[in-house]
C-alpha cells in the first residue's frame, strides 16, 4: 500500500482532510501523529493494518484532525497551489513547443499554400482568356489547343503535390521531434522486426 491509498482509507474512516493531506510531501509530522495514535510504525501498510484492527481508529483519526486542523488546512492549500503551478507550467511548456514548431517550420508551407491559391486562379483565367480570345478573334482553331495547354500544365500540379507531400512529412517529423521522439521510422521498424 502507498500513502495515497492510505489517505483514501483514512478519508473513508471519517477524517477527510487528514486523508487528503497524508500523501502530500511535507506531511511527515501528521503521519507521525497518526502512527503514534494507532501505536504502530510510520509505514502505510502498518497504519492500514492498525486501522482495521483498532476499533477506536476512526475516533483517533478525527481527534488528530481536530487538533491539527489549521496545519492540515495549510498543507492542503499549499498542495493545491503546487498542483495549480504544475498545471500552468505544463500548459506553458506545451504552448512554447507549439510556438517553436510554428516559427521553425510553418513559413515555407504557408508560402506554398499561398502560391497555390494564386496559381490555380491564374491558370483558370489563362484558359478562359484563351477561349475568349478564340471567340473574339473568330478563330475556333485556338479552342482545339486548350486541352494541350491544360495537359502542359500537368507538371506544375505534380510539383505542387510533391511539395505538399514533403511539407506533410516534414510537419509530421517536426511534431514528433518536438514531442521528444528521437528515433526515425526506419529505426523503429527495424527494432519492431527484431522484437526490441
User: pLDDT tens digits, residue range 85-114?
Assistant: 888 887 777 667 666 665 655 566 667 777
Domain contains 178: yes
Domain contains 148: yes
**Domain check: are 63 and 109 in the same one?**
no
CA distances from 153 to 99, 123, 150 (A): 37, 8, 5
Domain count, the chain: 2
Give the domain range for residue 55. Answer: 3-67
**Domain check: are 116 and 179 in the same one?**
yes
**Rounded distance between C-alpha atoms, residue 105 and residue 170, angstroms:** 8
**Domain check: are 50 and 126 in the same one?**
no
pLDDT digits (tens, 9 = 90+) for 18-59: 778 777 776 677 788 888 888 888 888 888 888 888 888 888
The single residue listed with the C-alpha cell 504552448 is 95
Domain contains 81: no
pLDDT digits (tens, 9 = 90+) for 128-169: 888 888 888 888 777 787 788 778 878 877 887 887 777 777
**Can you give the pTM of this predicted structure?**
0.41
Amino acid at each position: 500500500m502507498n500513502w495515497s491509498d492510505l489517505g483514501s482509507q483514512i478519508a473513508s474512516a471519517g477524517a477527510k482532510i487528514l486523508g487528503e493531506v497524508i500523501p502530500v510531501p511535507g506531511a511527515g509530522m501528521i503521519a507521525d501523529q497518526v502512527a503514534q495514535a494507532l501505536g504502530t510504525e510510520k509505514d502505510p501498510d502498518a497504519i492500514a493494518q492498525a486501522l482495521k484492527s483498532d476499533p477506536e481508529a476512526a475516533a483517533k483519526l478525527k481527534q488528530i484532525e481536530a487538533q491539527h486542523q489549521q496545519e492540515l488546512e495549510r498543507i492542503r492549500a499549499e498542495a493545491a497551489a503546487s498542483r495549480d503551478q504544475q498545471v500552468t507550467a505544463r500548459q506553458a511548456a506545451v504552448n512554447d513547443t507549439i510556438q517553436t514548431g510554428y516559427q521553425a517550420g510553418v513559413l515555407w508551407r504557408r508560402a506554398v499554400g499561398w502560391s497555390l491559391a494564386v496559381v490555380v486562379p491564374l491558370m483558370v483565367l489563362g484558359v478562359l482568356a484563351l477561349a475568349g480570345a478564340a471567340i473574339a478573334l473568330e478563330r475556333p482553331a485556338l479552342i482545339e489547343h486548350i486541352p494541350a495547354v491544360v495537359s502542359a500544365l500537368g507538371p506544375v500540379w505534380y510539383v505542387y503535390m510533391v511539395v505538399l507531400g514533403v511539407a506533410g512529412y516534414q510537419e509530421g517529423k517536426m511534431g514528433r521531434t518536438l514531442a521528444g521522439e528521437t528515433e526515425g521510422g526506419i529505426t523503429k521498424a527495424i527494432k519492431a522486426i527484431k522484437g526490441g
